[in-house]
Chains A and B, each alone.
Chain A
Amino acid sequence: MKTEMQTGVNAYPLYQDFNSVQAATIEKASGMHEFACIQLHKTLMGRGDIIKETTLEIFNTKDHSEWNEVPMVSLDHQEVPATSVDLWDSFDRTIGHHFNMSIDLNACTGCGACVIACHAENNVPVVGKEEVRKSRDMHWLRIDRYYSSEDTFEGDNIKKDEFDGLTGEKGSLSGFGELEHPAANPQVAFQPVMCQHCNHAPCETVCPVAATSHSRQGQNHMAYNRCVGTRYCANNCPYKVRRFNWFLYNNNDEFDYHMNNDLGKMVLNPDVNVRSRGVIEKCSMCIQKTQKSILDAKKDGRLVKDEEFQTACSSACSTGAIVFGDVNDKESEVSELVESNRMYHLLEHVGTKPNVFYHVKVRNTIEA
């Protein structure tokens, strides 16, 4: 085994008599271990608009405006739905393909097959433990995991709504501090987040060299050889999905993983380039795959079938949580999903108009 891979402790000696439950004693040892943890913040802090969820009872009996609220913003001192306000003019997107991705929070189990599929498809580099520890991981697709700090996420929202003043029993100062700690037996929610391919993308407007731009098909492009590495885009991205190549991760002995030897490089996908040092990279909505589908159909002189449009994550998803397709094709699954009353966009109040949308998580809490 390579030195880099020799992490962890062998626990098999504790697997006595092949029983996964063992009577053990545990004691503290000296020293501190350095972890490479991707997500350091564990709770949602009552930000119910990031992961929206409701119960089956409410879902069945109440109007969706109650359990899938559209965030409101102030326009001319009037509260109006955030979706109705826009700083920008929209383009006509009715011609050609317009890609959307649907993520159903009810179906996603957090298994992570999509994360590895994305790695394999897009030549995402492995950066190693030290770099991950410095928050320099390169995953284009991450699955956020949130715990509730009350017994339920709903409890978090209520607690936050009831904050009154800065200090005191219901003061927000101590209250937010408490919300940082997960409950002993919390509710858990998973949320896959990749580039949201915003139609009004904050990253595009701040790039001084126009290295990132929008396509007619809804995909947010990166021109790697134009990028000069200012990282303004990553700073301006509300979803934090842009990844910066701090180093050259291939042919570099400091990163002795698969991209540092001829054998390991055989796994690289020739349809996707290998990025160099100093550029930002991110989810491309597998443009190499969508273009392939379009060209195949063009060669055959036919329309693209709905199931032909796939990204690496959507085709790896065995639960059907991730569905990808063309919303301009009214027969497509994704255009049906976008009409669902469970549909919402992440951080809708920012007004980014993403092409990725989520479905409200419904929990079946009906007992007996």
Chain B
Amino acid sequence: MASNKKYWKNEAELNPNDSIVETLKQNEFVEPIPVDDFLGDKESLSATSTNRRDFLKYVGFSTAAASLAACEGPVHKSIPYVVQPENIIPGVANFYATTIANGFDFASILIKTREGRPIKVENNKDAKVAGSANARVQASVLSLYDSTRLQGPMANGEPTEWSVLDAAVKAKLGSLKGSGQQIALLTQTYASPSTDRLIGDLKAEYSNVNHVVYDAISEDAAASAYEAKYGERALADYDFEKADLIVSFGADFLGDWQGGGYDGGYAKGRIPKNGKMSRHVQFEANMSLSGANADKRVPLTPMQQKIALAQLYAKLNGTSVGGELSENVQKTIDDVAAEIRKNKSGAVIVTGLDDINAQTVVLAINEMLGSKAYDAASPRYVRQGNVKAVQKLISDMKAGKVGALLVDGVNPMYTLPNSADFKEGVEKVGLSVVFSNNWNETTEVAQYTAAANHFLESWGDTQIKKGQYSLMQPTIKELFDTRQFQTALLTWLGSDKSYYEYVKETWNQSILAGNDWSKALHDGVYSAAGMTLASSADADPENTVSAEVDKEAVNVVEEVVAQAGIPIATAINSLVNATSGGGVELTLYSKTGMGAGQQANNPWLQEFPDPITRVSWDNYVTVSKADAERLGFVNEHVANGGLDGSYANVTVNGIVVNNIPVIIQPRSGNWFYRSFFRLRKKSGYEN
């Protein structure tokens, strides 16, 4: 029985004219197998004693050769160690101590490297402060290998050479020397003694340098309150391990409040030992990590939090103030005041309200109580941003008073609420250079983009808390043609020092006090001995220098002056008379995974589920159930098991943000607040 069916071995055979088809038909093996070489010569073949076993060998060889010729294995690129690097044993990890200081996260950490590649972040247990990595710091190692990183400097969006950039900057800075225009530096908080010194050098060279520190998420109120009281722009520190009673007014101290890193101490006090553990009362609007861990959580709008704080102060002081609160809250305040009176020094009050009055009152209460957990003598330096200075800089830029603008570690075009003003200003600046890891909204408007190092490729140092220093060292050579801001500054100052030498010099001169640099570098951290507020000026001349330098900066930007201390009575009065400003009170906060959004391109962090809402890959506005019902918002589960939610348009002061997804979250039956996150991007940039 004949069949017309034809079986095709592969697609190529469909085309009868294809030469491959013909070749394959004729020849089973595309590459010739040298069988003839040893089988062709009959004479020698007959002369040899090829037995059956040998024959099978030949057949075996030809089959193996055919299969080898037919398949191509995957190609793995590898580079041999011609000269094996010192201290690297293949298969054995090396650990280096370094520090992350990206303006939002500050931590002393260890980096695990394998064959020269940083692959993992570990906590630095030698660090007395900020020695633990949070989720973002843990994930920061992946940002080093971000395939969308800038691979070299750019001029107006086109790749260029560092020499071109250097020449342009040097020429511009030279022409601005002694001119009426500012050389403005808009940077993240560094908290770095060496960078402070370097900027001091720059100011010595050019008298018209204006260094403006900008935190995307500001702690301006807390820093200003501390400055007014203690004369230094910093944040009071707290050791929650020593607290028996923690009362928080909207401070998410287990999250990113004042730079975070307080959870270690807090948890030590929370484990019941000998029948005792600390007690934690949280007054807050949006459900935060701290509220979730509190023994008692009292939902209050920010306005009510202010009144509650004023009343607590009055209760402790034996006076009384006005302000209306519900009966329950009133009773809670009474109870808390009674608890505090029983053990004054064991209590500590913190607040996250962006209000200088609230911050001033909190500092006053803690001092009044003599709180053991309160450490005003050795403050933290992790947020130094000055809101007024930033606004002044933008108006100066718009007025054409800025000749050159150098930006590092911040993305103002994305994070500024008034980014349109910034854009207008940048266009009037003679020279704008932006240091950035990625192409972003700010590099878009700048003339020059300086491809910046990742912190794992950089040298540096920080003073996270007074007297607690840590060092940043590269754990890998620059992957691309990048340069860190400090190195560029040194180049532009005409120095032939590397930033490594500069940091080492700073440390040997003014930090180490004769102690060994190599040991400090090995440990990654260094504690100045006997650090107190009074002695710090002597032990650390660097601080005095930078303080003086800051005063100069104030002269250049004449309108920014240190705020005089607010009398406590005025502060209380202002808190009691707090109003919500009409409408709903929207509380903006940073998500655990995203922080201020520096690592938005990090897939680990995007997929990280938020601890409270358990949502990954998104941001949203959280709305209480009662409010959702009133406004018609729904959350529903659909057929494939996913969660769907309504969209909301949120308007603040005429600014509308459209189509924010809504998550319904329990908080309280209160009608007057909802919260919503700042953060991640939907930008048009794609690499």
Contacts and interface: CB of A to CB of B under 8 A. Distances in A.
Contacts of B462: none
A216 interface: no
Contact of A132 (B115, B122, B438, B617): B617
A179 to B, nearest CB: 14
A34 B642 contact: yes
A17 interface: yes
A128 B607 CA distance: 7
B505 interface: no
Contacts of A23: 580-586, 652-653
Contact of B271 (A104, A128, A133): A104
Interface string B604-623: 11111101111111111101
A13 interface: yes
Contact of A1 (B297, B586, B587, B685): B685
A267 B119 contact: yes
B158 to A, nearest CB: 20
A1 B114 CA distance: 28
A42 B641 CA distance: 15
A143 to B, nearest CB: 6
Interface stretch (A68-76, A163-171, A203-211, A257-265): A257-265
A90 to B, nearest CB: 31
A135 interface: yes
Nearest to B588: A20
Contacts of A31: 646-647, 659
A110 interface: yes
A121 B114 CA distance: 12
Interface in A278-330: 312, 315-316, 318-321
Contacts of A129: 616-618
A21 B302 CA distance: 7
Contact of A14 (B293, B297, B652): B652
Interface in A1-50: 1-40, 42
B134 interface: yes
Contacts of A126: 603-604, 606-607
A267 B586 contact: no
A60 interface: yes
B525 to A, nearest CB: 15
- Majority secondary structure, B binding face: mixed
A188 interface: yes
B643 A15 contact: no
A230 interface: no
Contact of B139 (A8, A28, A60, A120): A120
Interface string A337-368: 00000000000000000000000001111111
A115 interface: yes
Contact of B387 (A18, A37, A104, A364): A18
A19 B604 contact: no
A127 B611 CA distance: 19
B181 interface: no
A278 to B, nearest CB: 19
A111 interface: yes
A9 B619 contact: yes
Contacts of A59: 272, 275
B267 A24 contact: no
Contacts of A28: 631-633, 646-649
A193 interface: no
Contacts of A26: 584, 586, 621, 623, 631, 648-651, 674
B229 interface: no
A355 B505 CA distance: 52
B666 A115 contact: no
Given A28-B632, A35-B661, A113-B132, A145 B611 contact: yes
Interface string B291-316: 11101110100100000000000000
Interface of B: 91, 114-115, 117, 119-123, 131-139, 141-142, 144-148, 216-218, 220, 254, 261, 263-264, 266-268, 270-272, 275, 277-280, 287, 289, 291-293, 295-297, 299, 302, 335, 338-339, 342, 352-354, 387, 414-417, 419, 438, 479, 580-589, 592-593, 600-601, 603-609, 611-621, 623-626, 631-633, 637, 640-653, 655, 657-663, 666-669, 674, 676-683, 685-687
Given A20-B587, A184-B625, A320-B271, 17 more contacts: A2-B687, A5-B600, A15-B415, A18-B387, A21-B585, A22-B586, A26-B631, A28-B646, A33-B659, A39-B609, A59-B275, A107-B268, A111-B134, A133-B642, A184-B624, A185-B666, A269-B114
